[in-house]
Chain A
């Protein structure tokens, strides 16, 4: 893995600013491909340090109601895996610095073809992947080919990961570690930050990679609380809910963009450690 990649550079820059990175999650193509692309284009300026983009899937088993609905909206509006890759390609024409991570489930990639997908993802400027249903036990499927090709393989740690499990998880992790703060699905309850802090400290004993914390983080206060002990904070469902609200109220695309970017700016203000 080359050290001059976008993700590493971005984490170095943010460390020097004495703050945590804000990782924002959106589902590609939500609420429709056009609006989604406008929202995406304005995310870095609004304060997103790393973009996490969900690849829509009909059966998102690890996601709560908000992101499930986002998946269905996107698919209903004609989003596909190919279009998600094309979205990243267009984003890269105006932004060559902000890291883009694709998150999703294995089946659409399995159908597309693993190596073809990895090659295309690198070509369009994707920096890393989070594939929820590929645990270390299935590393030969996609983790090994990704690492060989130079694409970050970002894995989740959870409250159920004990020390021996952490060793297994972290062995082939790269880019950063995504700690899931609760045993549960996205966008539901929030974690007790003391417990999360203990878990993060434990993870840090096993790795030098930056640690991001996500699941259940919705407000600038929660971002600020979490930023004190991690390198990055992930917010997803709260942003996706903004899109849902705007879409339900039939707001024009510009207004939905503004709503989302406003929330991103508020959350970004929480990343400073003081």
Chain B
């Protein structure tokens, strides 16, 4: 492999869904015709004016886009150094960025004539966002969720039920997000005629990583316009947390060819990379193949997939979207990691200084902001995607802080 940078970092994937050596379509033959059908439909509709109009209409009047960009002045004063902006995707309907994607995918599913929606969920945010659009468009919704996650995310389970979704507890394997995705794929194989699988992150077989990225890119497109309007220049640093990496790729993608912008993805280091209990696929994993794509994975020396660990259920996945693996390999994006403890500190800092209870996921990104901002100049700018609100996490945080509620 040569080291010349590509002409553009925004031209992937190629026609086979590859980002460099990552991505692809590693699925069972039964699913291949479906995956090809989704690809064909997505390429047909993504630039269709009627599709775009409908997506923009619901994004504006239902989700509440564009989400604001907020100058976190008290946080900035406390940390010293750079100016910090929050891209406030936690203000979206359902409280996270996930709905940007579920809305796009369900509009596609409807055009494809699909009658039933399935999804996987870990923390429940993608499950809630899927159940929400299924209620809105009157389609039955089945959500696969690991039994372990059902126990620790009871409020989201009830939310999904209120929205009319059927929750299927997953007991196979280790009963977490990766197993929920396995079972959703098994459902899809058995219901090929009428079912559309709404994958929640920028991973899975082609065209999902590309499609999810495109639907989430609204975050980066808005950010660029907003920062140019406010500051009349591009930010020095943009950053976001990464589990599968959909909010991050959504923020990053429109900035990839802006050389002056330093881009940082923040993985979950759990109890620390050296502890072996983490969810940092890039920092602590190796390339492999799972859930339809080649990407960095947590795995043992026999190629068996390992369990991820993070205090944040939304980052608790042993893989990462393939485009991130590629951006890591070509060095365009820096990937760092933040521990549970550091994220908890940042969570509290945000509550205290800005009056915003962030989700534990973006608390990881915030913890990294807290590390780098003080060393930066006062006229430098950081934009962080605040991709979810933390109401869902108050029980987890209380427990971690030793508080009974």
Are B28 and A59 closer than 8 Å at their CB atoms? no
What 0/1 readout, one digit per residue, does chain A (67-102) give for beta carbons within 8 Å of chain B?
Answer: 010001001000011100000000000000000000
Are A108 and B303 closer than 8 Å at their CB atoms? yes
Q: What's the nearest-Cβ distance from chain A to residue B338, in Å? A: 27
Query: Is B213 an interface position by the 8 A CB rule?
Result: no
Closest partner residue, chain A, to B30 (CB atom): A158
From 274 to 324 in chain B, residues with beta carbon under 8 angstroms from any chain A beta carbon are 286-292, 294, 297, 299, 301-305
> Contact partner of B26 among A106, A182, A185, A188, CB < 8 A?
A106
Query: Is A209 an interface position by the 8 A CB rule?
Result: no
> Contact partner of B173 among A59, A107, A183, CB < 8 A?
A59
A-B contact count (CB 8 A): 115
Query: Is A110 an interface position by the 8 A CB rule?
Result: yes
Query: Is A169 an interface position by the 8 A CB rule?
Result: yes
> Contact partner of A160 among B16, B33, B288, B299, CB < 8 A?
B33
> Contact partner of A58 among B30, B31, B292, B304, CB < 8 A?
B304
Query: Is B182 an interface position by the 8 A CB rule?
Result: yes
Q: Please indicate the chain A residues that have their CB under 8 angstroms from the CB of B292 in the complex.
A: 133
Do A59 and B290 contact each other (CB < 8 Å), given the known contacts A72-B173, A75-B304, A156-B29? yes
Are A185 and B189 closer than 8 Å at their CB atoms? yes
What 0/1 readout, one digit per residue, does chain B (85-98) give for beta carbons within 8 Å of chain A?
Answer: 00000000000000
Query: Is A184 an interface position by the 8 A CB rule?
Result: yes
What 0/1 readout, one digit per residue, does chain B (145-184) give for beta carbons within 8 Å of chain A?
Answer: 0000000000000000000000000001100001100100
What 0/1 readout, one digit per residue, does chain A (154-183) give for beta carbons within 8 Å of chain B?
Answer: 011111111001000100000000001011
> Contact partner of A133 among B28, B301, B304, CB < 8 A?
B28
Are A160 and B30 closer than 8 Å at their CB atoms? yes
| Assembly CA distance A185 to B301 (angstroms) | 28
> Contact partner of B303 among A68, A72, A112, A135, CB < 8 A?
A112
Chain B interface secondary structure, helix, strand, loop or mixed? mixed
Q: What's the nearest-Cβ distance from chain A to residue B222, in Å? A: 35
> Contact partner of B302 among A60, A72, A111, CB < 8 A?
A111
Do A135 and B34 contact each other (CB < 8 Å), given the known contacts A108-B304, A110-B289? no
Do A137 and B304 contact each other (CB < 8 Å), given the known contacts A62-B28, A107-B290, A169-B29? no
Are B178 and A135 closer than 8 Å at their CB atoms? no
Number of A residues, CB within 8 Å of B: 44
Query: Is A57 an interface position by the 8 A CB rule?
Result: yes
Query: Is B52 an interface position by the 8 A CB rule?
Result: no
Do A111 and B190 contact each other (CB < 8 Å), given the known contacts A156-B29, A180-B29? no
Are B185 and A65 closer than 8 Å at their CB atoms? no
Are B32 and A137 closer than 8 Å at their CB atoms? yes
| Assembly CA distance A159 to B30 (angstroms) | 7
Are B289 and A133 closer than 8 Å at their CB atoms? yes
What 0/1 readout, one digit per residue, does chain B (193-215) give for beta carbons within 8 Å of chain A?
Answer: 10000000000000000000000
Are B173 and A135 closer than 8 Å at their CB atoms? no
Query: Is B25 an interface position by the 8 A CB rule?
Result: yes
Closest partner residue, chain B, to A109 (CB atom): B303
Q: What's the nearest-Cβ distance from chain B to residue A271, in Å? A: 25
Query: Is A61 an interface position by the 8 A CB rule?
Result: yes
Query: Is B186 an interface position by the 8 A CB rule?
Result: yes
Query: Is B27 an interface position by the 8 A CB rule?
Result: yes
From 172 to 228 in chain A, residues with beta carbon under 8 angstroms from any chain B beta carbon are 180, 182-185, 188
Are B27 and A133 closer than 8 Å at their CB atoms? yes
Are B302 and A184 closer than 8 Å at their CB atoms? no
| Assembly CA distance A75 to B304 (angstroms) | 9
Are B24 and A138 closer than 8 Å at their CB atoms? yes
Query: Is B225 an interface position by the 8 A CB rule?
Result: no
| Assembly CA distance A155 to B32 (angstroms) | 13
Q: Please indicate the chain B residues that have their CB under 8 angstroms from the CB of A61 in the complex.
A: 28, 182, 185-186, 291
| Assembly CA distance A201 to B305 (angstroms) | 39
Do A110 and B288 contact each other (CB < 8 Å), given the known contacts A180-B30, A183-B30? yes
Are A158 and B29 closer than 8 Å at their CB atoms? yes
Q: Please indicate the chain B residues that have their CB under 8 angstroms from the CB of A135 in the complex.
A: 25-29, 32
| Assembly CA distance A93 to B179 (angstroms) | 38
| Assembly CA distance A109 to B25 (angstroms) | 17
Q: Please indicate the chain B residues that have their CB under 8 angstroms from the CB of A182 in the complex.
A: 190
Q: Please indicate the chain A residues that have their CB under 8 angstroms from the CB of B32 in the complex.
A: 135, 137, 160, 165
Q: What's the nearest-Cβ distance from chain A to residue B288, in Å? A: 5
Query: Is A147 an interface position by the 8 A CB rule?
Result: no
What 0/1 readout, one digit per residue, does chain B (19-43) give for beta carbons within 8 Å of chain A?
Answer: 0000011111111111000000000
Ordered by A's residue number, 22 sampled pairs between the chains whose C-beta atoms are within 8 Å are: A57-B304, A58-B173, A59-B179, A62-B28, A62-B30, A62-B189, A81-B302, A81-B303, A107-B297, A110-B287, A111-B288, A111-B302, A132-B28, A133-B289, A135-B27, A135-B28, A135-B29, A138-B24, A159-B30, A160-B33, A182-B190, A183-B30
* Additional A-B contact list (9), CB under 8 Å, known A111-B301, A135-B28: A59-B179, A65-B172, A106-B26, A110-B289, A110-B303, A111-B286, A133-B26, A135-B27, A138-B24
- Give 4 nearest A-B pairs by CB, closest first: A111-B303, A108-B303, A184-B190, A58-B304
Interface residues of B (CB under 8 A from A): 16, 24-34, 172-173, 178-179, 182, 185-186, 189-193, 286-292, 294, 297, 299, 301-305
